[in-house]
Amino acid sequence: MEILVFYVFGTFAVVGAFGVVLNRNPMYSAISLLGSFLSVAVLFFLRHAEFLGIVQVFVYGGGIMVLFLFVIMLVNLYQLRETNLFGTNTRGALVLVLVVAAVFSYLLWTVDFDPAFADPSSFVTAGPDGAEMGNSEAVAWTLYRDYLLPFEIASIFLLVAMMGAVILGRKQ
């Protein structure tokens, strides 16, 4: 049953990603992106990465989608000119997509993944007292102990980007 759910939601994620790129209407593209985000969250839940699944739903499915929808609403879509997505060479684009799909398929079936990828229980993390930690505790422990400086630098970049977006978005 788990493999069936994986294939169904993996297909939804890929179809949603294609919908983002191929839709002419930006609102439909945003809805396709939301479907793709939620499908990836289900895939995280299947791999017993509950923390990442919840973060995927809250941050990407909630916050990032609201940001995209605000941008879509603020841009005057009637002033944008129509463009052909692939120019006049749709056959060339289709061949390119098929070649990329073939390369990824070849890599998926020929690369021998580590046993750690097959068994998520091999990533058992012990806390400071030696007790086994849960998924979100292990992520937090690693993030704040080993990667504190990059985490703080990323938060400063996000703060500067948010201030820049507010300044640029302000009307004269």
**What does each of the 172 residues of the chain score in pLDDT, given as a tens digit?**
888 989 999 999 999 999 988 888 888 888 999 999 999 999 999 888 888 888 889 888 888 888 888 777 776 656 556 655 556 667 777 888 889 888 878 877 887 655 545 555 555 566 666 667 666 777 777 777 888 888 888 888 888 888 877 777 666 5
Residue 126 φ then ψ, to 5°: -100, 140
CA 46 from centre of chain: 16
Residue 53: closest CA among 61, 63, 45? 45
Rounded CA separation 47/76 (Å): 41
DSSP state for residue 123 in the 8-state scheme: -
The pair of three-digit structure tokens given for residue 63, joined into one six-digit string: 């916050």
User: Environment class of residue 148 by beta-carbon count within 10 Å: exposed (0-12), middle (13-18) or buried (19+)?
Assistant: exposed
DSSP state for residue 54 in the 8-state scheme: H
- The pTM is what? 0.56
Place of tokens 């941008």: 71
